[in-house]
Amino acid sequence: MRSHFTDRFDEVIVENTRMLLNALTPPDTVPVVTEADLRDVTDAKDEALNQWDVRLENIFKEYQAHPQRLRPLRTAMEERLLRTFAGLINQIRQEDLGIGQYIWRSKDDAKVRGIHQEYDDRVFRWDGPPEGGHPGQAHNCRCYAEPILSGSQSDVVPAQLEPTADDGFPLQDLFEHEARGGHTIALHVGKSEAFLRRAVTLQQRRGLILSVFRKRHGSFSSLESAQKLTNANLAGNAVIVNAVATGQRPEAFVTSSFTSLTGTEAFRTGPRASAPIVVRTATGVGTLIRHAPDMPSGFIIITSYPRND
């Protein structure tokens, strides 16, 4: 019985591998991700099998006097565990590849719950789960997350924003974006090493199989540095920024690398709670922007922080 269920976990892993490789390899291009690049998920499978052992034992203990109920209860338990496992390995593999965004995909049938119908085909971030959690986390959820490879939006048509003296777009004031719900200043400026470590130590979500932690948290040394580097990052990704500003994309996470230090980040080296955390200097910046037609620039800066890609 256990070996049969182990095979079903292996089938889920194979299916996830196929989905990721197909999604991350545009037609008529050389693959940028191979199977060897995908994170090994043996630890997640072993933990899921341990959960299966415990739950099956509990079912037998509670319902041994009602043998007719054992099979349907075991089947329901196994299906839920498989769906949770599928969602979990999809997330940890994508995050291990440095993928921060995904497209919500549903089964497009009458069984899809209402809120997931609303999420269908929309873009979300792994570090910002929507209400109800990521695909596969809700009870009996059959949805999945299709990864968005950085730089894959090559067909975006740029729009012209008001130029500045530098032939770019208007410089952004982080205070204006903070007032509208952004949190760059509140969470990513002038933070201590203890704060950064705590940010990646606190559990984000306790799953049925594994807990999920924040992978990284960075801080600029000063507000002036945050302003300067965030604007430089936006200017270096003008095509994508323009697409968000004009509503062609609902949101985007853009990154840039610099030749000098941008700040400090705490980085979790693995998904488990026991994984070492390193605090290191950063030479890159990541900025999340979202379309906001009532903002002068057409977008809001949700967050911006130093990072190493």
Residue-by-residue DSSP string for 228-269:
HHHHHHHHHTHHHHHHHHTTSSSEEEEEEE-SS--EEEEEES
Residue 268 belongs to some domain of the structure: yes
For residue range 220-245, list pLDDT tens digits in order: 999 999 999 999 999 989 999 999 99
Question: Could you say which DSSP state residue 222 is in?
Answer: S
Whether residue 293 sits in one domain with residue 185: yes
Whether residue 136 sits in one domain with residue 1: yes
Whether residue 199 sits in one domain with residue 96: no
Whether residue 265 sits in one domain with residue 186: yes
Residue 252 belongs to some domain of the structure: yes
Q: Which burial class, exposed, middle or buried, applies to 177 when counting CB atoms under 10 A from its CB (0-12, 13-18, 19+)?
A: buried
Whether residue 188 sits in one domain with residue 144: no
In whole angstroms, give the CA distance from residue 195 to residue 279.
Answer: 11
Q: How many domains does the chain have?
A: 2
Whether residue 143 sits in one domain with residue 13: yes
Whether residue 191 sits in one domain with residue 137: no
The per-residue pLDDT for 271 is: 73
The per-residue pLDDT for 110 is: 85
Residue 166 belongs to some domain of the structure: no
Whether residue 256 sits in one domain with residue 115: no
Residue 158 belongs to some domain of the structure: no
The per-residue pLDDT for 160 is: 37
- The answer to whether 141 and 199 have CB atoms below 8 angstroms apart is no
Whether residue 3 sits in one domain with residue 107: yes
For residue range 190-215, list pLDDT tens digits in order: 999 999 998 888 764 555 555 566 78
In whole angstroms, give the CA distance from residue 137 to residue 132.
Answer: 8
The mean of the pLDDT values for the chain is 84
Whether residue 144 sits in one domain with residue 9: yes
Residue 157 belongs to some domain of the structure: no
- The answer to whether 291 and 240 have CB atoms below 8 angstroms apart is no
Residue 88 belongs to some domain of the structure: yes
Residue 69 belongs to some domain of the structure: yes
Residue 155 belongs to some domain of the structure: no
In whole angstroms, give the CA distance from residue 309 to residue 306.
Answer: 10
249-276: burial string, b at 16+ Cβ within 10 Å, e else: bebbbbbbeeeeebbbbbbbeebeeeee
Whether residue 99 sits in one domain with residue 217: no
Whether residue 181 sits in one domain with residue 301: yes
Confirm whether pTM is higher than 0.75. Answer: no
Please say which residue of 111, 131, 148 terminates a domain: 148
| Owning domain of residue 277 | 174-307
Please say which residue of 148, 182, 212 terminates a domain: 148
CB-hemisphere CA count at 13 Å for 74?
19
For residue 40, is pLDDT > 50?
yes
The greatest distance separating any two alpha carbons of the chain, rounded to the nearest whole angstrom, comes to: 80
